[in-house]
Structure 1
Amino acid sequence: MMRAAPWAVAEAVSNALAGVASIFVAGWLLTPADIGRAGIVIGLVMLLGLATGLGIQESLIRHRSVHASVTDTAFTGLMALGAAGFAVCWVVAAPIGWFFDDPTLFSLLGATSFLLLLNAVMAVPTALLTRKMRANVLTRRMMLSRISQVVVIGVLGWLGAGAWAMVGGVLISNALSAIVLWRAMPRVPRLRFDWGEFRSLASFGGSMSIELLLWQGTTRLFALQVGYFHGVVALGYFQFAQRVVEEAGNLIQANVVRFGLSFFADLDRSDRNANRAFLTGTSLITLAGGVLFIGVALVAGDLVPLIFGARWQPAAPLMQIFAVAAFFPLSRALAGPLLRAKGHQNAMVLYGLVACGITLASGFVTAEQALVVVVLGWAARNLVSLPWSYVMVSRYGRIPVRDQVVFIARPLAPMAAMIAAVLLTQHLLADAPAVLRLVSAILVGLITAAITVPLFNWRMISELRQRIGRLRGGGAGA
């Protein structure tokens, strides 16, 4: 973990910069309709990719052994499933264009389907490198991918390619990622298949795939609902706001998702107690996520029109709701990795199923409502999913609900202070220029967080510093 940490931080920062750059480029050079069309085809392909991936990548990370027969079987099976998904995309391309009354979706969806083959190529190398926490390779790959995506979107957008700019950026960046990952492999997977090994991987991976399909698939299906009921322009606003919040969240969540399962699985294999690591990690994530997401929600009203132009103003209130809605699930980011590492993946499926049902039902209920109401419907799943996560961690992780709540409650105090300070600043500068109000709100929020975070969380920060010091020195008790 100590070796991986600097690379993980570097990846988080580079991802954030590249993500912000891609949002700027897309906001400046593409229209809401362009982003809406690209969102439809990319969403459909990613949804199919979840179904054909069968959770094999995550199963490899957790598997007790990853000898040649296992990796070859996983690679062969994923390539066959990716090819099947590729064919399905071309079959449904014409009906999708008819369904959304947009003929351009046929060629866009057909081209985007190559992403399924690229994902199949990358799955095994990504799993093996993640299992070994080879963060240096993964970080270099991610940095190259994100930078190339920004460049491609910028060039094609400037040339007037419209939605093709987004599709081209995704395809080229993933192709470069595949090259980097394969060059880092000491042994290249071969086309060899063992049904017994594949069944063993799929027994865990299939359940994992269903859960991912429920969570990420729900996101894609809900976006399709927005596009169908409200049009591609409304979908463009919806996905633009969602993307800004997701890029902010990737500063934290991307590495939690990537290395969380590896970390807890290693603790489980060595019969070490994961409770303290879970609770401390949850506090840190809640602390960082609060500053980030609550900060975005507070300044979005001034930020969006100033940075992206007046045409994106309708996305500002959507961004505020997305930011608040993203903060609370982030505080539970370690629940999934902990339960999966302990072998309770099936318990996660019902959890995702309930959230999926609530979300898709809200899409139909809000079909005739304003976009703000639509996004509120999207966030409604947290009313059930959050309490459920506490119960599951208590039952399967053996961590009492009270302990979980205590380790989350303390980081909330600095958030309350920051909200009060920023709102007061914005009120006092209500008649000032928007630029001055935005800069002042950001500075006041950061200063307030810098003062209150150590004040309310001094013991945790002190213990963390001591632990890192012992780890660096390799001392006893590290």
Structure 2
Amino acid sequence: MANRRLMTLIWIFTEKFGLIFLSMITFVVYARLLTPTELGVGTVIIAIVEMVGLLYSSVLEDPLVRLEKMDDRHVSTVFWFSVLISLASIVLISGAAVLYTDSAALQWMTAIASVKILFTLMARVYVAEMRRSSNFKRLASRTLLGKIAGGIGGILVALWGFGPWAVIAQALIMDMVSTAVLMLADRRRIAFRIDGPILRQLLGTGTPVAINVLSSQALQRGVNVVLGMTAGAHAVGMFNLAMRIIDLPRSAIYNGLMSYALPVFARRSSDPPRLIGIINDSTAISGFLLTPFFLGIALTAEDVILLIFGAKWAPAIPMLQVLAVTAALGNLAMYATTALVAVNHTRLTLKAEVTTTLLALVLVYGLGPIYGGMGAALALLVRMLVITPLQIRGLNTAIGYGWGAFVDASYRSVIASLVMAAVVLALSAHLHLQGFMHLVADIAIGAVTYALAYSVLHPRWPQEFKLVFTAR
């Protein structure tokens, strides 16, 4: 059992870290070849399209994963409903673009980008079935192949000088190839049938999940849209570079962890004490790795941006620092939504998710014209500070996960990370090094300091972390 868990996680993170590597390559190329305005235009268009795709995906996929048994009726219902709703969305988005802008280029970019929704939703039944069977090897293969194809296509478009089309080409090709790989591997014939009662059941279960996901994704995609409306495409480009540096590793790691965590939590949903135990263990291990990682990005933000992306992106440095601190705080309750999905109590935090997201968007709308991308970064920080205690309150109501468990799972990684930050800040200016050597020295000092501080706080951490894969 322990070996199976480890192999499952290995395949999950083969996919996710492979995506980080490939995404960083393409993103560095875009940062070198595109202007902030060109990057901003492509980002806003893809953000709109992906918000629609993610909304439908969340309604349909997670309820399928939670089913005790998924038969052909569920498959055909979800597949053909996905196709129909995708085609309708493509028409609506393309029509809205014609009404919103007089630019033929923007109209064509929006219309072509919206086709991504079709490929995203067609894949849902295949992805859900593989998650249910823990077939993360195939999931990893299809995503990596899609990312490679999309990255190559996007880079070629950028090299040919088509600007924002590069961002659109990458996203569209990636989803198209990923879906084709899944369908070729599973050549089942899906009957054209939509079962009304099954569809209503899935929509009823999935709608609260989708609202939570949409609320979360609005922070990553909706913020870009609002910022573009108020501060312009240049501000979106700057903010998006900082956000992507954080979001590439965070999304890859978080999505991998949540893909594994949901079925694990669901199997323990009827036993709250065991569920609390696995949430605590998972939070402690994730915080051990991720809290110093994101705080380290904040400490090295200047070197990272100037050395990798170039001086034209220097205004993004303070944005990156704020977003990195926000991501570090997000580790404290990272499993809250997944745990609530597992016990079917997502409604407990629904109002909080929606309200805090609206708060963040209002702050972006107000601060964007004054502070540009920094206004968006500060809005996300405020939202994180407000939503975290509300998520813990929801978990406490659902399964009895209180503040004591919350603090116990996180305090060691937080204290050790703060010690790391203090030491790096104290020594960094006195290293008399420049360029990549300065960056490497800061990373080395931070890693050693954090390891020592955490070991002082928790001497038996290797043995206890190992037990997570062999117990419960």
TM-score (norm 1): 0.93
Aligned-pair distance for 1:25? 1.4
Residue aligning to 1:474: none
- Where does 1:65-76 land on structure 2 (aligned, <5 Å)? 65-76=69-80
Query: In the alignment, what sits opposite 1:185?
Result: 186
For the residues of structure 1 that align with 2:405 and 2:126, how far apart are their CA atoms?
38
Show the counterpart of 2:249.
248
Confirm or deny that 1:82 pairs with 2:107. no
Corresponding residue number in structure 1 for 2:384: 382
**Pairs within 5 Å for 1:454-469:** 454-466=455-467, 468=469
CA distance in 2, matches of 1:290, 1:340: 24
User: Equivalent residue for 2:423?
Assistant: 421
Q: What residue number does 1:57 align with?
A: 61
User: In structure 2, how many angstroms separate the alpha carbons of the residues matched to 1:270 and 1:185?
Assistant: 35
Q: 1:214-251, CA deviations, whole angstroms, 9 ceiling, x for partnerless residues? A: 22134322211211111111110111110110012134
Compare 279-288 and 442-451 and name the one that shifted more. 442-451
5+ residue gaps, structure 1, are: 472-476
Distance 1:399 1:459 in 2: 24
C-alpha change, 1:188 and 1:347, in structure 2 (3 Å) is: farther
Quote the offset at 1:46 in angstroms: 1.4
CA offset at residue 432 of structure 1? 4.2
From the superposition, tell whether residues 227 and 358 of structure 1 become closer, same or farther in structure 2 (CA, over 3 Å): same
Shift of 1:146: 2.0
Q: Does the aligned pair in 1 maintain the 2:292–2:328 contact within 8 Å?
A: no
Could you tell me which residue of structure 2 aligns to residue 216 of structure 1? 217
Question: Shift of the alpha carbon at 1:12?
Answer: 3.0
The alpha-carbon deviation at position 188 of structure 1 amounts to: 4.4
Tell me, yes or no, if the aligned pair for 1:253 and 1:330 is still in contact at 8 Å.
no
Tell me the distance in 2 between the aligned counterparts of 1:178 and 1:379.
35
- Is 1:399 the equivalent of 2:401? yes
Aligned to 2:275: 274
Segment of structure 1 superposing worse, 121-130 or 214-223: 214-223
C-alpha separation in 2, matches of 1:177 and 1:455: 45
CA distance in 2, matches of 1:467, 1:195: 42
Against the structure 1 CA distance between its residues 52 and 413, is the aligned structure 2 distance closer, same or farther, given a 3 Å change threshold? closer
Distance 1:325 1:467, change over 3 A: closer
Which deviates further from its counterpart, 442-451 or 54-63?
A: 442-451
Q: Distance in 2 between matches of 1:407 and 1:270?
A: 19
How far is 1:145 from its partner? 2.0
Q: Note closer, same or farther for the CA distance 1:207–1:92 as it changes in structure 2 (3 Å cut).
A: same
Larger CA deviation: 170-179 vs 458-467: 458-467
Question: Counterpart of 2:329 in structure 1: which amino acid?
Answer: F
**Amino acid aligned to 1:426:** S
Q: Deviations over 1:59-114 (max 9, x none)?
A: 1011222111111111111111111111111111123325xxx5532111011011
* 1:33 counterpart = 2:37: yes
**Shift, 1:269, TM fit:** 6.5
SS in structure 2 at match of 1:125: helix
Structure 2 residue aligned with 1:97, among 95, 101, 109?
A: 101
Q: Percent identity?
A: 22
Matches of residues 136-175 of structure 1 in structure 2 within 5 Å?
136-175=137-176
User: Which deviates more, 350-359 or 371-380?
Assistant: 371-380
The question of whether the paired residues in 1 share the 8 Å contact of 2:227 and 2:365 is answered with: no
Question: Residues 233 and 71 from structure 1, CA distance in 2 versus in 1: closer, same or farther, beyond 3 angstroms?
Answer: same
Matched, 1:286 2:287: yes
CA RMSD, 1 decimal:
2.0
Q: 1:147 to 1:457 in 2, by over 3 A?
A: farther
1:4 aligns with 2:8: yes
Secondary structure, in 3 states, of the residue corresponding to 2:400? Answer: coil
Matching residue's letter, 1:152: G
- Count of residue pairs brought into register by the alignment: 467
Matched, 1:129 2:125: no
Q: Deviations over 1:128-187 (max 9, x none)?
A: 111221111111112112222222222111111211111111111111100122233374
Change (3 A) 1:53 1:250: closer
Q: Contact between 2:332 and 2:406, CA under 8 Å: does it hold in 1?
A: no
